Every structure is written in C-alpha cells, then in structure tokens.
Structure 1
Amino acid sequence: MGLTPEWALSQVLERSWLLMDQSRALVTAAREELPPDRLWELHQVPAARVMKLIRRGQDEGAFRTDLPMWWLIAVIHQVFHAAPADFTLGHRTDPSRMPKLMTESVLAMLRAPRPSR
C-alpha cells in the first residue's frame, strides 16, 4: 500500500490498538472515573492526528467527503472502543486479529463511495 492515506491511518490505528490493549485496565478505569469532557480533552491529540489523515485521504479522493468530519471521528472512536468490549463480553476473537478487524472496518466506512451508474 505504500504511503497512502489508507496505509498511514491503518498504522495509526494498529499502533493505537496495541497501546490500548497493553493498558486495558487503565483505559477502563479512566472511562469509569473521568468525566466525559476530560476524556474528550485526552482524545484531542490523537483525534487531530486522525483528522489530518482523513483530510489527506479526502484531498486525494480516497476517503469520503459526504459525511461531516465530526461523524467520521465519532464512528472511528466507537469502533476503536468497541474492540475491548469484545473481550469483556466473552467473544472468542483472537486478540491478534483485532487490529486488522478494526482497521478494515474503519477503512470500509471511510472509503469514498463509488459513483452510481
């Protein structure tokens, strides 16, 4: 894939997943203890990085432009934070597959729709 926006975003998501997976207990505690506005503050730097990659993908025609940026970020955030729930709900997803599942889901949502015929 090279240095495409898709590749760059997949790298960010995969590394973020590994970091979150390694500190799952801390992430869970933070979600339970911190108010939503503080959690949002803590997500600003990673969200800005992802927004920059999405804009790049939009500029290059790889990512959709028909949905607002806030919605794209919200969906990515939900996909990202739903992954640990897979484990707590007792699903049997191999944790090593989670980065690929998460990344494929996000990229599928972001891809520019093909023009209808």
Structure 2
Amino acid sequence: MNERELLAQPPESYMSEPQRAFFKQLLETQREELSCQIDSEFQALRTLEYSADAADIATREEQRQWQLRQLERQKKLIDKLDAALDRLAQGTYGWCEETGEPIGIARLLLRPTATLCIEAKQRQEQRERHVRQD
C-alpha cells in the first residue's frame, strides 16, 4: 500500500490492519535510517583532526557543539519513533491521547510520531503561548 491508496481509503477503515502495517514499516524505516545517520555522525565526531591554531580549534569546537545538539535532537526523535511503535503494538497508535479521536491519516503521514489530533495540538500550542506571555 502506498500513501495515495492510504489516503483514498474510507474513514471506516481507519487503523485497519493494512494501515497499521504501512505505519509500522514507515516508523521502522525512519528509525533505521536515523540510527545509521547517528552512527555515521558519531564516527565523524571521533575522527576530527586536531590543530594547534587557536582559530581552527575554536571553529572545530563550535562545529562539534552544533553536531552534538543535532545528535541530541535525533536521539529524541528515535525515542518518539520507539514510543509510536509501542503505541502501534498496543493498538493505540493513530488515536489522540487527549480526546480519543482519530489523529488522521494525512497528519500521520506528515508526522508519524503525532500523539494529538490537530485540534488538541492547537489547544496545546495556545496554552503554551499563554504560559509564555505570563
């Protein structure tokens, strides 16, 4: 099944076995690709050349810090992918954690780790904006 076929299915087939299989494959593929990317970036960090020039050292350290922040973000995404795979195994994947409503195929295709339907996500963002303004 591809994305077009997935989007063309009727609403009553939401989170049917073929749809769950599609998302399981998608999540596992994203996780594997991200794991390989993280491994590759860690290897690159380990093989950085050293220099006696202070400017080169500072530039390299800044680049290293940026790469470490990227790796942290990627690790958090792996954790989200693992959590999504767990929800899939438990049968709760695709359902909003706040309302119990379907998250929607289109939203899951854009963000396979989504845990909130669009309305609940908008409410969460409004609450966060309100808290920041106080």
TM-score bin (small chain): 0.3 to 0.5
Q: TM-score, normalised by structure 1?
A: 0.33
Give the number of the structure whose alpha-carbon radius of gyration is greater.
2
